[in-house]
Every structure is written in C-alpha cells, then in structure tokens.
Structure 1
C-alpha cells in the first residue's frame, strides 16, 4: 500500500453510508431473511461480496486505463462524480418522502437466495454509478495495483458485513417494520451527506481550474 490510509477510509465511509440506505439489495436481504429464514438471508448477504468485487474491479481497471490514455479524464470524472452525487441526493430526498415497506420473500433456498441477490446487484445501474463517484474521490492516478486490490477487497468485505448485519438483525417482521419506519430519516441523511461531498468535489474543481 502506497496511498495514505485516510484515502481508503474516506471511500469506505462513503460506501458504508451508501449501504446504510434502503436500496434494492438491502430490502431484498431483509425480506428474504424475514420470509425464508436467516440462512437464506445470509446467502443474500454473502452474494453481495462477489457482486461488489466484480463492479468495483471492472470500474477501477477501466478508469485507470482511461487516465493513462486521456490525461484530462480525471477532471472530467470529478465533474461527473459531483453531478451523480447531486442526482443521488435528489433521489434520496424523494425516497425520504415515500413510505418504505419490506415484503417477505418466502420459500427461498440458500442457493436461490444467493443467485437472486447476485442478479439484483449485477443488473443494478446504481452499482456502476456509485463506483464512478468513488473513483472521482479516490486518487486512481497515484494508486498501485496493491492499492486498488485493497480498495476492492475492503469494499467487498464492508458490503458483506453490512448485509450480514441486516440479515441477522432485521429478519423478523417487527424489526423490519422498525427499519421501514426509520428509512425516510436515513434516506434524508444520506441525501444531505451526498450533497456535502458533491459541494467538496465542485470546490476542488473550481480551485484547481
């Protein structure tokens, strides 16, 4: 590892807050655990690991290759990252006004739960846009292959840990109802945080111009 640990922590904090919000994979994990048991819920959580690894590795390698070919691409990516963050924030504010419900998914085996969770993550465009935002913050141009590997592995472990927590803690109907009740507050908080990060990226662009 050649980059300071603070660079990784900043990404993982952003990524962890993103996981905190009730998106498709989180609701699928909770619903599966609630309807089909903790074993199926844990299978959903474990599937998030390889799913995140695939998205993150593909995005990291693609952006690194782009930076080598197009020197000004880093500035462009920073602008795209800021725009995506503002878009994310508006979506989270919209979700904060909506009622969140968790539907129990019954009769799922661990194998079906694993494959279903992997399919949801693989087809979720939010995964790609999330990593574009992350790489607008993470210094890809200075990162070594070891740094990139640490970023990918650490993010995958964080994603699995977060979803395992959901599978274990919110696998009962009362717990899921409590989560759904507080989901609007979580969404609003995530929206505010994303606007803060977007403002920082825009400031960095203006200062560097």
Structure 2
C-alpha cells in the first residue's frame, strides 16, 4: 500500500514538473449527454452547435421546419443541461421572439416532457422530436402564450395570418416579433 502511495506522489511530481495538468473527471451527466448526442437523428432541417467545444452540457439547436405553419422559419434553442441529467430535464429556451401557443415571449418552451412528464429513460432525441411536433401541431390546450392559443382555438385563419406576419418580423397586437424566415 505504501508503495502505491509513493508511486502516485511521484507521478504528481512528474506531471507538475512537465507542466501537465490533471485531466478533468467526466461526470455521469456528461457521459449520458455524449451518448444521447451520438444517437441523435438530425435530419437536414436540424443542427447543433457547441459554442464551447469543451462544454457539451450547453449547446444550441437550430430547427427549420419543412412543413406546417412554421415552414421555412429558422428557430434556435439553447439547451442547458444540469449535472443531475438525466434525473432532471434539460432547460430549453427559444432565442427568437415568436408567436406560438407553446413558447412564450421570453422563449420558455411548454413541452410536457420538459416538465412533469420527464423520466430519466427519456433522451435528447425525445426532446427534439417533441419540439418538432410543437411546430407541426401547436397545442392550444397547454399554452404559455395564451393570446396565440386563443387565436388558434377561436379563429384558425387569424392565427395563420398572425404566424406569417410574426415570422416576417411584423407585429401582432402590440408585440413586434423577430424575423425568422430564411
């Protein structure tokens, strides 16, 4: 036992003398995220970007729907994943101000698996599929943007006009939206 301890001390001295630093330990969350990212099925309408390549727990995801009301819009989301992942869901936020029943004006996303229905067996691919579905089929029964939800439920044609106007950077009511058309 004593010999192992002295070998470890000698190794630390050698590393310090040669200017090497200790390797950072990889956390369970990082391992799981790495696995989830490797298994992602990103089609031509989606991409990820890592502002800091050494930090896989914080990245952006860009979605460009190719059908539905939000077709041809470019939407970027930040993913912030805690060290408690997969026991806690990722925090997802839209970077553009958009007119959508399930995304509020601050960019918060209302998706059940990001809240009460999250389970550790779910992965990042499930989140991305859920987000794709929100753009294909907005859900007016569980809204964050109540005005958009009321339009969707009450007057589908007005909702469509408002989505198109807002995606072009126009106004809906008193709110000006970000231009997201590609």
TM range (shorter): under 0.3
Structure having greater relative contact order (Cα 8 Å, sep ≥ 6):
1
More strand by share: 2
More helix by share: 1
When normalised by structure 1's length, the TM-score is: 0.24
When normalised by structure 2's length, the TM-score is: 0.26
Larger Rg: 2
